[in-house]
Chains A and B, each alone.
Chain A
Amino acid sequence: MSLLLRYDGVLLMKKSSLKEVKFAFINSLPVLFGFIFLGIAFGILLQKAGFNYIWAFFTSLTVYAGSLQFVLVSFLSSGTALPVVALTTLFINSRHMFYGLSFIETFKSMGKRYPYMIFSLTDETYSVLCSLKLPDEMDGNRVRFLIALFNQSYWIIGSVLGALIGRLIPFGFDGIEFSMTALFVVILVERWKTDGVRVPAIVGLICGIISLLALGAESFLLPALSAVVAVLLLLRPSIEGGREAER
């Protein structure tokens, strides 16, 4: 009898974890298309610079930062000095400092997965995690971990594919990278509809556009994010007042 119960228990566990795998996979799908094709583009570039699929695999495994890896290709081919590599990396990826803030409590509760969750917090994983609507019965930590893991796998698979067979792919996929833009737009619309307070989104758009117009495409991101933080802190009394009133 107890054996039977245990068997039932295992079945139940498997069933529920399969549900979480499926849920995580569906939520990671928007990233799949973007990452596979962006990854392929990176792999092709790396291969052209003289570094094969093994390099692509290890770079995407250990660095795992979209836009930076494209810059890294030129660093690798010209043998750039390490301090320059370090400073450029810190600068390009400095936006990630702001991402962790919203997940400190959540990630801390994730035990052994905690370091990986921090490591894998890219723009895309951050956005998917922000927009996640978990059904009550699911283990949220498991879902979040799986999403992070799936996303990185897409990126690795893409970059290895690109380095291996990139040149065989006829360039019929130009424009597929728009799926990343579409992902961010969808998440913004979603938040716009569900968030009670819309001021942060408006602040983000305005700071982003002003910085872009003032500073140009290459260097606007960090100033834009810093401006967002400053403006949101200034607006804190009124926004928090609004939230209280809503309750």
Chain B
Amino acid sequence: MSTSFLDAVFIIATAAVCTFVTRLLPFVLFGGKRGMPKAVKYLAAVLPSAIIAVLVVYCLKGLVPLQWPKGIAELASVAVVIVLHLWKRNTLVSIAGGTILYMVLIRLI
């Protein structure tokens, strides 16, 4: 550990404060008494689906550039999660099924 104790504390504190600031921003901007403008209310309603879709892409970002053959494990497991969930509609079953398959596949491929 070459960084001094105090330096390390300051680095962690800086990261903590800045992280909180990013999470606080919408509440500071639109959480006041004046309430939310209509456009923001609309965004609040439609953003979750869109953001979760982006997060799915984010999780699969390793596929680009296509990593052969590891990409197969990822794509196949995602497909299994989707099928399992459409079929059983049980969150834990879908996640466990897909994750176990993925863990097996990356060892086999």
Contact = CB atoms under 8 A, between A and B. Distances in A.
Interface residues of A, number: 96
B59 A68 contact: no
Interface in A156-194: 173-176, 178-193
Given A118-B24, A118-B27, A176-B99, A127 B55 contact: yes
Given A29-B92, A82-B14, A86-B18, A178 B102 contact: yes
A228 B51 contact: yes
Given A80-B11, A82-B10, A96-B22, A178 B103 contact: yes
Interface stretch (A1-9, A10-18, A207-215): A207-215
Given A29-B92, A97-B26, A68 B54 contact: no
Contacts of A58: 12
Interface in A124-181: 126-127, 130, 173-176, 178-181
A221 B15 CA distance: 19
Q: B8, B14, B77: which has the most chain A beta carbons within 10 Å?
A: B14
Q: Which 9 A-B pairs have the closest CB atoms?
A: A204-B53, A208-B57, A50-B1, A204-B50, A100-B26, A89-B18, A181-B59, A79-B3, A175-B103
Contacts of A44: none
A189 B91 CA distance: 10
Interface string B89-106: 001101110110011001
Contact of A186 (B4, B20, B91): B91
Interface of A: 29-30, 33, 49-51, 55, 58-59, 62-65, 68-69, 72, 75-80, 82, 85-86, 89-90, 93-102, 104-105, 107-108, 118-119, 121, 123, 126-127, 130, 173-176, 178-193, 195, 197-205, 207-209, 212-213, 216-217, 220-221, 224-225, 228-229, 232-233, 236, 239-240
A183 B97 CA distance: 11
Nearest to A87: B18
A204 to B, nearest CB: 3
A220 to B, nearest CB: 7
Contact of B85 (A59, A85, A190): A190
A197 B46 CA distance: 9
Contact of B54 (A181, A224, A236): A224
7 contacts: A62-B16, A63-B15, A90-B22, A96-B23, A102-B44, A102-B48, A200-B53
B57 A205 contact: yes
B64 A213 contact: yes
A121 B20 CA distance: 9
B22 A217 contact: no
Contacts of B15: 63, 65, 68-69, 72, 75, 85, 89
A174 B103 contact: yes
B15 to A, nearest CB: 5
A121 to B, nearest CB: 5
B95 A119 contact: no
Contact of A75 (B11, B25, B96, B98): B11
Contacts of B68: none
A186 B31 contact: no
Given A101-B43, A204-B54, 11 more contacts: A30-B95, A65-B19, A85-B11, A85-B14, A97-B23, A104-B26, A174-B106, A174-B107, A188-B49, A200-B50, A207-B54
